[in-house]
Amino acid sequence: MKWYFSNDAPIYAQLIGQIRRGIVSGVFPPGERLPSVRELATEAGVNPNTMQRAMAELERDGLVYSQRTAGRFVTEDRGRIDDFRRRLAAEHVRRFLEDMEQLGFSRGEILSLLPQATRKEGDAHGDPGM
Residue 63, H or E segment:
none
Both ends of the chain: CA-CA distance in Å? 31
Residues 44-73 that bind DNA (CB under 7 A): 46-50, 52-53, 55-56, 59, 66, 68-72
Asked whether position 1 contacts a copy of itself by CB under 8 A, the answer is no
Residues 82-111 that bind DNA (CB under 7 A): none
What are the backbone angles phi and psi of residue 13, rounded to the nearest 5°?
-70, -40
* Cα dihedral across residues 8, 14, 126, 7: positive or negative: positive
| Nearest CB to a copy of itself, comparing residues 36 and 66 | 66
Containing 70, the helix (H) or strand (E) segment is none
Of these partners, a copy of itself, DNA, none, which one is at the site of residue 105 (CB under 5 to 8 Å by kind)? Answer: a copy of itself
Q: Which residues bind DNA (CB under 7 A)?
A: 10-13, 34, 36-39, 46-50, 52-53, 55-56, 59, 66, 68-72
